[in-house]
Amino acid sequence: MSLMSDARTIILHKGEGPGVNVLGRHSCTFKLTAQDTMGHFGLFECRLEPGSVGTSPHTHHEIVEIFYVLSGELDILAGDRRVIGRTGSLISVPPDVVHAFRNFADDPVEFLLLFCPAHNREEYFKEVAELARSGALNDEALRTELDARFDTKRRPDVKFP
Query: What is the per-residue pLDDT across 74-88, written as a single tens digit (0 to 9) for each?
Result: 999 999 999 999 999
Q: Are 146 and 63 in contact (CB under 8 A)?
A: no
Q: 134: domain range?
A: 19-152
CATH of the domain at 91: 2.60.120.10
Q: Is residue 140 part of a domain?
A: yes
At 107, which amino acid appears?
A: D
Radius of gyration over alpha carbons of the chain, in Å?
16
Among 5-14, 94-103, 125-134, the range scoring the smallest mean pLDDT is 5-14
Q: Is the pLDDT of residue 24 over 90?
A: no
pTM of the model: 0.91
Where does the pLDDT of residue 161 fall: very low under 50, low under 70, confident under 90, or very high at 90 and above?
confident
